[in-house]
């Protein structure tokens, strides 16, 4: 953990990036209308996931943006929540500290429709005191159930406006709850979305699932820390292919291993590195027997270390087709490593270089042809373009500019 991961050249670039980021934040504040007279916005983030000792990467897409919000005049409080029956949570040290609160609820999917009610009861006293003390102006809840539902109840009781972010395609929790409870979860979720002042969707695909809910939605993509995930000078092997993700069927790792078995005869020095773990691991280990040049890492919770793996790879392969965003693909591009995958998924919209080599079909044979074609191209040039555009379009300061507008609009319209 104490190893210095960056070379002197990298530290120079990071320092330059920090200066640029601070300058951007200052100039944005100066140029904003009435910025000097505007009171600091105060936001309470209510989330079921946040970095913790057991899983430092959990909710990183929430934690990473908060330091950038502070630079733009946002005061943050974070409450992370977990059902009591899931055990105690040990807080991970982070720039923006959070308070973990456990709450009683019915275990499992049976309790999902009413979990927000239990959570609101748990939070009511402390939130009331903080709100009346002027600690925050609005609540940003992540997910309709349970946090959005709790925020809706707190709005009814205390008059606190709230914004809700939607991160996945099961926007009404119908699939999670199952057939019997799905309609109940949908009714509760619709109540949440109708009560929220704004709904933030991480992609157009997520927004489309809410199209029939008659609610106000805004698409704000997840961002990337362009200071941490940036090109470097890592030493590369003859050919390194990287894939990062949970080992579940929808991620497509089985197809990736089958495709690699077809690539290896023509590229015996090719090495595949997989970072991730999950229920598909035993099946994938059987497939690995056909691919001797595969290395595994179950977890990589340190972002600096993960960035090193991205930089050390020649090509990142994302074989899944059901992503709502594809954060790992964005991080890889920010590090200067181009990405290939299957055409037709949402990730098409966040790929910042051309997709000439991408697979037309979701088959191992098509993916194998894709990998072979991509490796014959000028990968460093593709990666350099993607890295530049990732910083320009999807770095956290750029993303937060759009979120800040929502916060300001909510506070102004609610007065």
Position 95 in a domain:
yes
Same domain for 387 and 407?
Answer: no
Domain range holding 266?
A: 239-393
Over the chain, what is the mean pLDDT? 86
Q: What CATH number should be reported for the domain holding residue 64?
A: 3.40.50.2000
**Residue 126 and residue 179 in one domain:** yes
Q: Are residues 64 and 205 in the same domain?
A: yes
| 227 pLDDT more than 80 | yes
**Considering its fold, how many domains does the chain have in total?**
2
By DSSP bridging, strand 339-341 and strand 315-318 are parallel
Residue 297 lies in a domain: yes
What is the rounded average pLDDT of the residues 325-351?
91
Residues 175 and 91 in one domain: yes
Q: What does the pLDDT average to over 311-325?
A: 90
Among 33-47, 220-234, 262-276, 335-349, the least confident range? 33-47
* CB distance 272 to 290 below 8 Å: no
Sequence-ordered alpha helix ranges (H) in 107-216: 115-132, 149-158, 174-177, 179-195, 204-209
pLDDT of residue 212: 66
Q: How far apart are the first and last CA of the chain?
A: 48
User: Got the DSSP string for 313-350?
Assistant: -SEEEE--S--SS-HHHHHHHHTT--EEEBTTSGGGGG
Residue 293 pLDDT more than 90? no
151 with 293, same domain: the answer is no
Side by side, the strands of the sheet bearing 138-142 are 99-103, 74-83, 41-47, 138-142, 162-166, 198-201, 217-219
- Has residue 230 been placed in a domain? no
Q: Give the pLDDT score at 21.
A: 46
77 DSSP β-pair partners = 44
Report yes or no on 233 lying in a domain.
no
Same domain? 212 vs 243: no
pLDDT of res. 213: 61
């Amino acid at each position: 953990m104490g190893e210095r991961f960056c070379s002197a050249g990298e530290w120079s670039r990071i320092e330059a990036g920090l200066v640029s980021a601070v300058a951007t934040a200052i100039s944005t504040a100066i140029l904003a209308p009435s910025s000097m007279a505007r009171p600091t916005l105060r936001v309470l983030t209510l989330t079921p996931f946040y970095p913790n000792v057991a899983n430092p990467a959990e909710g990183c897409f929430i934690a990473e943006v908060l330091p950038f919000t502070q630079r733009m005049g946002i005061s943050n409080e974070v409450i992370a929540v977990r059902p009591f029956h899931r055990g105690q949570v040990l807080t991970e040290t982070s720039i923006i500290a959070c308070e973990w609160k456990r709450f009683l609820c019915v275990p499992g999917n049976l309790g999902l429709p009413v979990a927000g009610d239990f959570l609101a009861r748990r939070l009511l006293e402390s939130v009331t005191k903080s709100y009346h003390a002027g600690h925050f102006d609005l609540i940003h809840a992540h997910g309709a159930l349970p946090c959005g539902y709790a925020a809706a109840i707190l709005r009814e009781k205390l008059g606190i406006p709230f914004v809700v972010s939607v991160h996945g395609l099961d926007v009404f929790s119908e699939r999670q709850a199952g057939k019997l409870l799905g309609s109940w979860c949908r009714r509760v979720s619709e109540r949440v979305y109708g009560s929220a002042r704004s709904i933030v969707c991480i992609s157009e695909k997520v927004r489309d699932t809410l199209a029939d809910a008659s609610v106000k939605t805004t698409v704000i993509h997840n961002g990337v820390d362009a200071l941490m995930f940036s090109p470097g000078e890592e030493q590369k092997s003859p050919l390194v292919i990287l894939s990062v993700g949970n080992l579940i069927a929808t991620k497509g790792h089985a197809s990736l291993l089958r495709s690699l078995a077809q690539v290896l005869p023509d590229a015996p020095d090719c090495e595949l590195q997989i970072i991730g773990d999950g229920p598909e691991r035993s099946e994938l280990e059987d497939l690995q027997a056909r691919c001797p040049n595969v290395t595994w890492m179950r977890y990589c919770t340190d972002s600096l270390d993960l960035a090193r793996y991205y930089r050390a790879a020649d090509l990142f392969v994302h074989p899944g087709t059901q992503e709502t965003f594809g954060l790992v693909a964005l991080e890889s591009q920010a590090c200067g490593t181009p990405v290939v995958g299957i055409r037709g998924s949402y990730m098409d919209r966040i790929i910042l270089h051309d997709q000439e080599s991408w697979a037309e079909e979701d088959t191992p044979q098509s993916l194998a042809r894709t990998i072979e074609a991509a490796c014959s191209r000028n990968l460093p040039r593709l990666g350099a373009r993607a890295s530049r555009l990732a910083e320009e379009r999807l770095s956290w300061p750029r993303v937060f500019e759009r979120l800040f507008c929502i916060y300001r609009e909510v506070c102004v319209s609610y007065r």
